[in-house]
Structure 1
Amino acid sequence: MKKIFTINCGSTSTKVAYFEDDKMVNKVSLDVTAEQLKQMPKTLQQLELRANQVKTFLKDNQLDPKDFDIIVARAGTIPAVPYDGAFEVNELMLASVTYAPEAQHASTLSCLIANELVKGLDVPVIIYDPTCVDSADPIAKITGIPEITNMPIAHLLNTKMAGITYAESIGKKYKDLNLIIVQLGGGITLGFHDHGRIADWVYDDEGPMSPQRAGRIPTRYLANLCYNSKMTLQEMRMYLCGQAGLVAYFGTQDVRDIEKLIDEGDEKAELVLHAMAYGVAKSIGELSVIRKGKVDQIVLTGGIAYSKRITGWIKELVEFIAPVSVIPGEKEMEALAAGGLRVLKGEEEIHPYNVYPKGYHSIEEIINNPNFLA
């Protein structure tokens, strides 16, 4: 029996789960309050609090890290890697997410907490299916500004799991299908899964708005907002990627609250929520062309996929492209554990992590980063 521990840091909680082989024995969401977040606005300021929450959970449940066969963490905001699957958490990764993170996101803390738990122990720590796997078609990364290359980012962990689940439901393999998979969550991302490879994608800042994200904003308006605002660069990033979307309109990211307003006759709430679904459908249509319309299935997953109103709106617009399956919720913890189990069984190898952040060539350079923002 293999003992597997998984860690998944989100913006307001740290999810942890303990597995014995493929059976989830215990799972909990360790919340971080809004007041605590106000006192710790920078991501790394939350590390000690969150790590202590995890240690308390382990102690309360009589779990000892030395007994684990592997710890699997959600990948943080690391530079793009060439493969999906498992990557070792090593000195380079820890330095990169600590001193030169690609972006401000709590997921960065997952591998740092895992590393804290195994100090002095011979327990392997990996990340699995990071958001930034660079498997996209080269043509998808070209932009209108030569200095900017659009690198792929997507919710690979849960969307790949949804693709595998759908394929198994029809007696096929995930790598035998062309799928457009949509992650409907606090951020909304889409990917065209071409026989197991993300050939193109729509990230949460270039597609539909979502509960927390602004989504695609015309550059003429965005430039005006940035130059006319008194926000710093980091404040603007946090606004666009955490305080915009449904939150900006209604003060809540909970779709259920907005659906309640609709049920009470609020026309503005219906228009804005419908616009979000409309944006998802437009992005599905955008991705459908890259393989000349050869799409076996469109899969909607994530927490918002529980909303029949939203999935219904999306289906109405895109079913002419391909049939639509709804696999609501997220199975990120199960996906992490399944990846770890495959590694322990020898079915998958652990890739070495050797990608330096742009502009750096040594760990020493990263640690001495004068532009440290985390």
Structure 2
Amino acid sequence: MDEYRILAINPGSTSTKFAVYFNEECKLNKTLRHSIDDLSRYTNILQQFDYRKGMIIDSLVEEGFEVDRIKYIIGRGGLTYPLESGVYLVNNEMLLHASQGVYGQHASNLGPLIADYIANQIPGAQAFIADPVVTDEISDIARITGHPNFEKRSIFHALNQKATARFHAKKQGEIYEDMNLIVAHLGGGISVGAHQKGRVVDVNNGLDGDGPFSPERSGGLPTGQVIDWCFDSNMTKDEVRRMVVGEGGYVAYLKTNNAKEVEELAGRGDAQAKLIQDAMAYQIAKSIGQMAVVFDGVVDAILLTGGVAYNNYLTDYIRKKVQFIAEVFVYPGEDELEALAKNALRVAREEVVAQKYQPRYPKG
């Protein structure tokens, strides 16, 4: 059997994670932490490029890996323009859009940039991304918002949702593209997707505040009250955005984004912590119920994944609410590096063809 050497890269807000795989075997999995002091030297995400890619290369050398033998480098996809699920070759257009952060500034924008840089240093190497957060397979009817000035955006945990759905299908002896699945990623942000025969045809925007609230995001808020608040409070645009993303959910109610801490507080009898935790589970269950409508109620399974899915109380709460729709399976945690590596391996083994980045540009 041929041996394919893969480098997977996942830049996060305060860390850069990377892993080296030889086929399915993980040879190195490392998390490089970045302190506030480290990152305060840079005024934007793009300026962190040299710092982060240098740390990855130095670490690979220190660990004794022959970097020039790694031919597949795959990074987490950033906030470029929308595109369908799949594995994509990094090209100049993608690099431009990631550099610009056309859909927002996030450390994941560095994923294709770092992958491309390292691949260019290795003869015969190629750079890829897979299932980025802007993966967009939403149906036309789901895209309508209620006013032509606004269009629903697909920004969600596509990489982990897709990997979990494929894992579940394989475990059940089924094919992902033949199943109707509802997948809920439960983390710092929460996204609930309707996977119809391999396509996520509807999903809440887990970044901008759509759907259930989460440990640090507000979820959907009463529109009229938000309008009044914005005009009456004299808040800036950035302050309002932070209220929705970063300072909402658990942070707003309980002054922490640590879901484990809230779980422990609720378990010790803290009534407010229990109420807010229950409310989050209640909203997640309602979102799952909404997605069941997409399938006319014909759902093969409901999958709960992400770090918060380790909370058995919360997943049991959700299960009781939605098990009438379909059987509930819990796959706690996430391994985005493994998911990236598996996607690169599928390309190496010619099971899929890496696509060209041809995004769907927004209207106007």
Q: What amino acid sits opposite 1:212 in the alignment?
A: E
Q: What amino acid sits opposite 1:96 in the alignment?
A: H
- Residue equivalent to 1:372: none
SS of alignment partner, residue 350 of structure 1: coil
- Residue equivalent to 1:368: none
Q: Which runs of 5+ in 2 are unaligned?
A: none
- Residue equivalent to 1:174: 176
- Residue equivalent to 2:26: 24
Q: Which runs of 5+ in 1 are unaligned?
A: 361-374
Decide whether aligned partners of structure 1 residues 94 and 144 sit closer, same or farther in structure 2, where only a CA change above 3 A counts.
same
Decide whether aligned partners of structure 1 residues 169 and 359 sit closer, same or farther in structure 2, where only a CA change above 3 A counts.
closer
Distance apart, 1:57 and its partner CA: 1.6
Q: 1:207·1:215 contact (CA, 8 Å) conserved in 2?
A: yes
Decide whether aligned partners of structure 1 residues 38 and 319 sit closer, same or farther in structure 2, where only a CA change above 3 A counts.
farther
- Residue equivalent to 1:370: none
SS of alignment partner, residue 118 of structure 1: helix
Decide whether aligned partners of structure 1 residues 248 and 296 sit closer, same or farther in structure 2, where only a CA change above 3 A counts.
same
SS of alignment partner, residue 74 of structure 2: strand
SS of alignment partner, residue 80 of structure 2: coil
- Residue equivalent to 1:107: 108
- Residue equivalent to 2:313: 309
Structure 2 CA distance for aligned equivalents of residues 139 and 69 of structure 1: 41
- Residue equivalent to 1:221: 225
1:88-237 pair list within 5 angstroms: 88-122=89-123, 123-204=125-206, 205-237=209-241
Structure 2 CA distance for aligned equivalents of residues 265 and 271 of structure 1: 11
Q: What amino acid sits opposite 1:117 in the alignment?
A: I
- Residue equivalent to 2:339: 335
Q: What amino acid sits opposite 2:120 in the alignment?
A: K
- Residue equivalent to 1:55: 57
TM-score w.r.t. length of structure 1 = 0.90
Structure 2 CA distance for aligned equivalents of residues 328 and 50 of structure 1: 29
Q: Percent identity?
A: 37
| Count of aligned pairs | 359
SS of alignment partner, residue 180 of structure 1: strand
Q: What amino acid sits opposite 1:112 in the alignment?
A: L
Structure 2 CA distance for aligned equivalents of residues 338 and 25 of structure 1: 14
Q: What amino acid sits opposite 2:272 in the alignment?
A: K
Structure 2 CA distance for aligned equivalents of residues 64 and 232 of structure 1: 50
Decide whether aligned partners of structure 1 residues 260 and 100 sit closer, same or farther in structure 2, where only a CA change above 3 A counts.
closer
- Residue equivalent to 1:270: 274
Q: 2:285·2:321 contact (CA, 8 Å) conserved in 1?
A: yes
Highest RCO, 1 vs 2 (Cα 8 Å, sep ≥ 6):
1
Structure 2 CA distance for aligned equivalents of residues 39 and 276 of structure 1: 36
Distance apart, 1:35 and its partner CA: 4.0
Q: CA RMSD in A?
A: 1.9
Distance apart, 1:235 and its partner CA: 4.2
- Residue equivalent to 1:283: 287
SS of alignment partner, residue 133 of structure 1: coil
Structure 1 CA distance for aligned equivalents of residues 118 and 233 of structure 2: 42
Indicate yes or no: 2:91 matched with 1:76: no
Indicate yes or no: 2:244 matched with 1:243: no
How big is each residue's C-alpha offset from its partner over 1:161-189, in whole Å with a ceiling of 9 and x where there is no partner?
11112112221111121100000111100
Distance apart, 1:140 and its partner CA: 0.1
Decide whether aligned partners of structure 1 residues 287 and 229 sit closer, same or farther in structure 2, where only a CA change above 3 A counts.
same
Structure 2 CA distance for aligned equivalents of residues 16 and 235 of structure 1: 33
How big is each residue's C-alpha offset from its partner over 1:315-346, in whole Å with a ceiling of 9 and x where there is no partner?
11111111100011112111111110111111
How big is each residue's C-alpha offset from its partner over 1:70-129, in whole Å with a ceiling of 9 and x where there is no partner?
101111001111x31111111111111112421122111111222232334331001011
Decide whether aligned partners of structure 1 residues 17 and 145 sit closer, same or farther in structure 2, where only a CA change above 3 A counts.
same
SS of alignment partner, residue 340 of structure 1: helix
